[in-house]
Amino acid sequence: MNHDSLVGVDESGRPTNRLSLPPPFGPAIRGGNKFQFFRPVQVGDQIYLHRKITDLKEKQGRQGPLIFLTYDLKYTNQNGDLLVINTETLIFRAVKEVGERKAEDRKAEEKPLFKINAGQEILFFQIRVSKVQMMMYAAATWNPYQLHWDSDFSRKYGYPDANIAGPMFGAYLVEMLVRWAGESSRLISLEYTNRAMAFPGDTLICRGKILESKEKDQKYRDCQVWVENQEGHLLVEGTAAVSLS
């Protein structure tokens, strides 16, 4: 469930209490997430959300200034037990007049993956994302924001098409990890950064490698994970920790 799903929405489908900046900055896009899981949620639990802004900074992008806003979203139950912490970064960019987007702007920057020790490769997971899947994901997560399913709305803000929601990358990375580790495994943490956008019709290829364990307990394994598109461009990179028992 999207944490903003049960509040009112504006005409674009964005929750009215969503974090935003005044003009000239446009709608936020997700820069990345770090999830930490502490306790399982039980049937009948009441879930409480607590949001706190932890960082705000400005950087210069290729097309103008960018504002990076980071906050922690803590999920607790009726007993006050901490369940999950979601650290999320939102990126705001100044909106320019709508025009033809340069081809090179569509391509993701090819950035080298950080070095790792030699290790086992995780069986990759590949999926071609359609507009229907994007709309189904938005519905399933109660996220009606038009940027993730409405092409005309997205082009209004200078994007070539509706863009795949950031959490979808995380969902596909989890799918890859669970398929590899098995149903008896447990995801301890997942942290990833979105490096570039993806659009309807793109093929997402989730990949990963097992990092050399620094712990004696081999039940817990750290992994390097990333997502590429059909052209081999890096879209997402991050790390995960998995319990294999």
Confidence of residue 106 (pLDDT cuts 50, 70, 90): very low
Average pLDDT over every residue of 180-192: 86
Q: Give bridge partners of residue 227 from the DSSP assignment.
A: 206, 236
Give, as one character, the DSSP assignment of residue 219: T
For residue 185, pLDDT over 60 is answered with: yes
**Band of pLDDT at residue 165, cut at 50, 70 and 90:** very high
Domains and CATH numbers, the chain: 29-97+111-243 (3.10.129.10)
Q: Over range 42-64, report the average pLDDT.
A: 89
**C-alpha count within 13 angstroms, C-beta hemisphere, residue 238:** 24
pLDDT above 90 covers what percent of the chain?
Answer: 50
Give the per-residue pLDDT at 229. Answer: 95
pTM for this entry: 0.62
Contact assessment for residue 106 and residue 198, using Cβ atoms and an 8 Å cutoff: no
The H or E element containing residue 134 is helix 131-140
Mean pLDDT confidence for 192-200: 94
- Which residues fall within 8 angstroms of residue 18, CB to CB, at 6 or more apart? 4, 28
**Mean per-residue pLDDT for 89-97?**
79
In angstroms, the CA 157 to CA 133 distance is 22
238 phi, psi to nearest 5 deg: 180, -165
Average pLDDT for 29-42: 90
- As a whole number, the mean pLDDT across the chain is 82
Round to whole Å and give the CA distance between 60 and 45.
44
Burial of 17 (C-beta count, 10 Å sphere; 0-12/13-18/19+): exposed
Q: Which of 2-6, 89-93, 231-235, 241-245 has the lowest mean pLDDT?
A: 2-6
Interior/surface letters 168-207, b for 16+ CB within 10 angstroms, e for the rest: bbbebbbebbeebbeeebebbbbbbbbbbbbbbebebbbb
Cα separation of 126 and 20, whole Å? 33
The mean pLDDT value for 146-168 works out to 91
Phi-psi region of 207 (alpha: psi -120 to 50; beta: other; left: phi over 0): beta
